[in-house]
Each structure stands twice: as structure tokens, then as C-alpha cells.
């Protein structure tokens, strides 16, 4: 009877490990260059890592918001974006289509995102980004990402000119295709790094 009880305990323990996903890990700095800091971590219930990238942009909130709302221009600065177009837009919300480039031999994937612009009392602006495409959706033969969500947070940054903004970009996604995590996770920093470099040049030029 005692042996049976011990065996039952270990069976329940193993089942519990399978039912409850591991919690998200702590952020780990993986790149710090050109004023851009990028961290990554393992998300609960996923083998694909998320990233959080930040930079101080020498411009104001309105300029950055203007860039974020010009969806058709995303391919010019949003790394690995082949196509983008606006589906609908209101003052504080927009729905956009993005096609993401994937390396050979994999096919590109897409996602429709709902972006909500939240103006907080402390002056910061948070843009929530939620992938809303269904698994059965198809666009020109392409499949949607399995999941995708994130946020962009803009913080007015104290400075003498008062025209600096801290830009923080968080994102996590999973491809629909069976792409090995060892291929994606070690390179997770490339997309946000290239994106923030291009954004910096864009807002400085404007």
C-alpha cells in the first residue's frame, strides 16, 4: 500500500508538470549597441522567446505617433516586413495587415493586428498590439502566424530641449510553420535592432 501511495504521488507530480506551464523567465540583455538595448526571455507555455527593445529618440511623442499611423510606410523601416496596409483606423485605434518575411525554405506568414493607443495620466502612451487573425484565415495563399502580441510604450524623456522620447517595444510571436527554435531564438534581436535603427533615422530626418 505504501509503495502504491508513493507511485501515485509521482504520477500526480508528473501530470502537474505537464498541466501547468513554466512561468516566464527573467529578462536577459542580449544586445547593447548604437543606443539600443535589447532583452529577451522565455515566455510561459512557449519555446519561442520574446524581446523587449528600448531606445531614446530625439523627437517628441506626436512625431512618433504620426509614423506609427502611416501603416503603408511600415515596409520602409519595420524590419522583415514585406507588405503592410491599413484595414481601418479611428483616432485611438487601428487594424493593420502585415506580411512578415521568413528565410528560405520557409514561406512568409501574415497577421492582422489591432493596435490601441492608450493615453496614460502620467504622459506616456501605450500602444497595445494584438494579433487577431484566425487559424483558418488565408491571404494570397499565405498562412497567419500561430500567435502574436506585444506593445509599444512611449515615455516623455526629461531633457533640456524636452523633445526626447523613450521608445520601448515588446513583442512575442510563434510561427505557424514548424521552424526550429534554435534557428529563431539566437537571432531574436535582429528584427527589433534593425527596426529601431531605421526608426531613429526616420524621425530624425522628419
Residue 110 lies in a domain: yes
53-109 pLDDT, tens digit each: 999 999 999 999 999 999 999 999 999 999 999 999 999 999 999 999 999 999 999
148-164 pLDDT, tens digit each: 999 999 999 876 666 89
CA angle 167, 169, 171 (to 5 degrees): 175
Residue 5 lies in a domain: no
Task: Quote the number of domains for the chain.
Answer: 1
Residue 7 lies in a domain: no
Q: What is the CATH number of the domain that holds 100?
A: 3.30.530.20
Three-state SS for 170-197 is EEEEECCCCCCHHHHHHHCCHHHHHHHH
Measured distance CA(205)–CA(96) in Å, rounded: 25
Residue 6 lies in a domain: no
133-143 pLDDT, tens digit each: 999 999 888 99
pLDDT for 173 beyond 60: yes
Write the CA distances from 73 to 111, 117, 139, integer angstroms: 17, 19, 20
- pLDDT at site 137: 94
Rg, Å, the chain Cα set: 20
pLDDT for 125 beyond 50: yes
Residue 17 lies in a domain: no
Handedness of CA 193, 194, 199, 200 (dihedral sign): positive
Among 33, 76, 27, 29, smallest CA distance to 193 is for 33
Complete DSSP assignment for 148-159: EEEEEEEEEEP-
Residue 162 lies in a domain: yes
Kind of pairing between the strands at 109-119 and 143-144: parallel
169 pLDDT tier (thresholds 50, 70, 90): very high
Residue 136 lies in a domain: yes
Kind of pairing between the strands at 164-174 and 147-157: antiparallel
- pLDDT at site 90: 96
7-66 pLDDT, tens digit each: 334 444 444 444 445 667 899 999 999 999 999 999 999 999 999 999 999 999 999 999
Range of the domain at 123: 23-205
Residue 16 lies in a domain: no
Amino acid at each position: 500500500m505504501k509503495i502504491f501511495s508513493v507511485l501515485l504521488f509521482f504520477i500526480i507530480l508528473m501530470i502537474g508538470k505537464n498541466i501547468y506551464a513554466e512561468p516566464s523567465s527573467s529578462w536577459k540583455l542580449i544586445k547593447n549597441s548604437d543606443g539600443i538595448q535589447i532583452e529577451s526571455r522565455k515566455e510561459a507555455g512557449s519555446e519561442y522567446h520574446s524581446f523587449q527593445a528600448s531606445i531614446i529618440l530625439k523627437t517628441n511623442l506626436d512625431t512618433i505617433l504620426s509614423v506609427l499611423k502611416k501603416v503603408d510606410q511600415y515596409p520602409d523601416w519595420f524590419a522583415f516586413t514585406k507588405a503592410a496596409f491599413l484595414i481601418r483606423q479611428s483616432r485611438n485605434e487601428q487594424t493593420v495587415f502585415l506580411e512578415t518575411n521568413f528565410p528560405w525554405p520557409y514561406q512568409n506568414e501574415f497577421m492582422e493586428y489591432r493596435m490601441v493607443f492608450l493615453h496614460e495620466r502620467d504622459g506616456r502612451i501605450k500602444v497595445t498590439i494584438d494579433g487577431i487573425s484566425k487559424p483558418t484565415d488565408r491571404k494570397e495563399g499565405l498562412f497567419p502566424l500561430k500567435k502574436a502580441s506585444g506593445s509599444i510604450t512611449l515615455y516623455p524623456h526629461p531633457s533640456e530641449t524636452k523633445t526626447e522620447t523613450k521608445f520601448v517595444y515588446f513583442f512575442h510571436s510563434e510561427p505557424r510553420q514548424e521552424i526550429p527554435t534554435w534557428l529563431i531564438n539566437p537571432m531574436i534581436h535582429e528584427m527589433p535592432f534593425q527596426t529601431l535603427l531605421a526608426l531613429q533615422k526616420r524621425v530624425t530626418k522628419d
